[in-house]
Structures are given as C-alpha cells and as structure tokens.
C-alpha cells in the first residue's frame, strides 16, 4: 500500500518535539528511532530521526541542523467536534512559546503551524445559503481560536 508520511526537519530538538506532541495526543506512540554517530550535523548520540504516530497519522522527525525552518506554507489541520477539544488542543499547542494567529491557526513552540478546526465550520461553509456562509466567514475572521457558539450564532443570523 502506498502511503504519505510528513517528514519534519528540526534543528536539534526533534526528540523534545516528539515528547511534546506525545503529551498532547493521548494515542501517540514512537515507532522507531536512529541516533547520529560522529560526523553528523548535530552531536553524536543525538536523535537522528524517529517515526512516531499522532491520532493515527505517521510522521518522521529529523534532527537535520539549522538549515531549514517551518513556514505557514504547510500546516496540520486538526478536525475536532467540541469546544472542549478546540480549547484543549489550542492551549496545549500554544503552550511554552507557541503563537496564536487568525481563524483557528496557531504556531507551536517549534514553529510548526496547526489549524484547530471544529467540524461545524466546514459544514457551515458548505451551506447553499450565501448569506449564512458570509455571516459565518465574517465571524471567523474576527477570531483567533475558533469559538463554536459564535459560529452557531452567526449561522443562525
């Protein structure tokens, strides 16, 4: 079976990132790892790469040195049902130096961009009534973290 696995390049803190994400997603697991030997871009014995899983999605993290950083051009969308889930993931991912952005977007402390999106938002955007969609969009544009009750109120008019 063909698969696609996001491959995340960290400077030298991939192990810290894996531990951070594993503390947020309850079903997280590390699958395998390899460590640098002499001559790598980071100290010998440091994690070289590791495969790990969050919410059923596999990732590979690499300690590749400072050559590349994350940008908002790539983000991970976390689809959730409830405001409690929005709040929990939002607060956990911005902890210890993350940054809030607009419309459900944030950057975690490693610079990785996430979208914490309740399932109500795409459902509202799919409504055939353009006035409802416009009201929901305008409400969302005013938000950093998405507030489902405010989307519901905008949708209802």
- pLDDT score of 39: 76
- pLDDT score of 38: 84
Query: Residue 96 has which token pair?
Result: 């210890």
- pLDDT score of 152: 98
Domain boundary, last residue among 24, 44, 69? 69
CATH number of the structural domain spanning residue 27: 3.30.720.100
User: How many angstroms separate the CA atoms of 104 and 97, rounded?
Assistant: 17
Same domain, 37 and 57: yes
- pLDDT score of 71: 95
- Provide the domain limits for residue 76: 70-157
Of 5, 112, 107, 111, which Cα lies nearest the Cα of 57?
Answer: 5
- pLDDT score of 83: 98
37, 30 Cβ separation under 8 angstroms: no
Q: How many domains does the chain have?
A: 2
Q: Would you report the helix, strand and coil content of the chain in percent, each value rounded to 5?
A: 30, 25, 40
CATH number of the structural domain spanning residue 92: 3.10.180.10
- pLDDT score of 40: 75
Q: Which residue has the tokens 């001559």?
A: 39
117, 80 Cβ separation under 8 angstroms: yes
- pLDDT score of 19: 97
Question: What tens-digit pLDDT sequence spans the chain (157 residues)?
Answer: 899 999 999 999 999 999 999 999 999 999 999 998 887 777 888 899 999 999 999 999 999 889 999 999 999 999 999 999 999 999 999 999 999 999 999 999 999 999 999 999 999 999 999 999 999 999 999 999 999 999 999 999 9
């Amino acid at each position: 079976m063909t698969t696609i696995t996001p491959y995340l390049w960290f400077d030298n803190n991939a192990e810290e990132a894996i531990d951070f994400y594993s503390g947020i997603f309850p079903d997280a697991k590390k699958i395998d790892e390899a460590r640098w030997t002499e001559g790598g871009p980071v100290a010998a014995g440091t994690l070289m790469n590791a495969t790990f899983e969050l919410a059923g999605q596999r990732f590979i993290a690499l300690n590749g040195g400072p050559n590349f950083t994350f940008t908002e051009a790539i983000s991970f969308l976390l689809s959730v049902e409830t405001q409690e889930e929005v709040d929990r993931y939002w607060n956990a991912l911005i902890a210890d130096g993350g940054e809030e952005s607009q419309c459900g977007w944030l950057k975690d402390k490693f610079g990785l961009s996430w979208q914490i999106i309740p399932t109500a938002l795409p459902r509202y955007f799919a409504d055939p009534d353009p006035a409802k969609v416009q009201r929901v969009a305008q409400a969302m544009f005013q938000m950093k973290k998405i507030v489902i009750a405010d989307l519901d109120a905008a949708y209802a008019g």
